[in-house]
Amino acid sequence: MIATSWNNVTEKTIQNCWLKTDILPSTNEDIDDINDINDMDSVDYTEDMQESDFEEMEYILDNLPEAVKVQEYLEQLDSLVPTEEYLSDEQIVNLVQFEMEDEDEDTSDEEIPLVTPKQAINGLETFIKFFEQQDDNSKFNTNELHFFRKYLHITKVITIESKRQCTLDDFLGN
């Protein structure tokens, strides 16, 4: 439906749209037409373009600051758009399945690396020091840092306990 609608758009319609945007530099010729942009709704868009219209349009396009980019954009409009093709139900199902497989591959079972107790201690110490060094205490309460100090202490205990040697019997679970 989009492709059919686009094919029904006339060149005069496109020209009038460009004029209505007010981004094109005005020329001395036909300046009244540009000033009467508000009356464009009453223009008959099905009229054929005159040779002078083509010349004016070329003049305007050539004098744009980024004429090359505009020209490239306009050339892209003439290229075939993949959405113009009608897909069968089987093709649509295959596309959806293919996209779902790609998503599954992207979200594969990536293991999140474990945070070591030493990394946790360093992070908590940095966090606490940062807030203790702040001059503006209006945004946070330094008394609440005791929660983080508590977890820092717990993490240090876990680190010490993980370094304790156990007997071979305890290790083997006897």
Specify the pLDDT at position 125. 92
Residue type, 59: Y
pTM of the model: 0.34
Q: How many residues does the chain have?
A: 174
Question: For residue 41, is pLDDT > 80?
Answer: no
What average pLDDT does the segment 15-44 reach? 60
Question: For residue 9, is pLDDT > 60?
Answer: yes
Burial class (CB in 10 A: 0-12, 13-18, 19+), 19: buried
Specify the pLDDT at position 25. 62
DSSP string, 107-129: T--PPPPPPPHHHHHHHHHHHHH
What average pLDDT does the segment 53-76 reach? 77
In this structure, what is the dihedral angle of CA atoms 158, 163, 166, 172, given to the nearest 10 degrees?
A: 80
Q: What angle do CA 94, 96, 102 make, to 5 degrees?
A: 100
**How many C-alpha atoms does 2 have within 13 Å on its Cβ side?**
7
Specify the pLDDT at position 45. 44
**121/70: higher pLDDT:** 121
- Summarize pLDDT for 111-137 with one digit per residue, the tens: 788 888 889 999 999 988 988 888 776
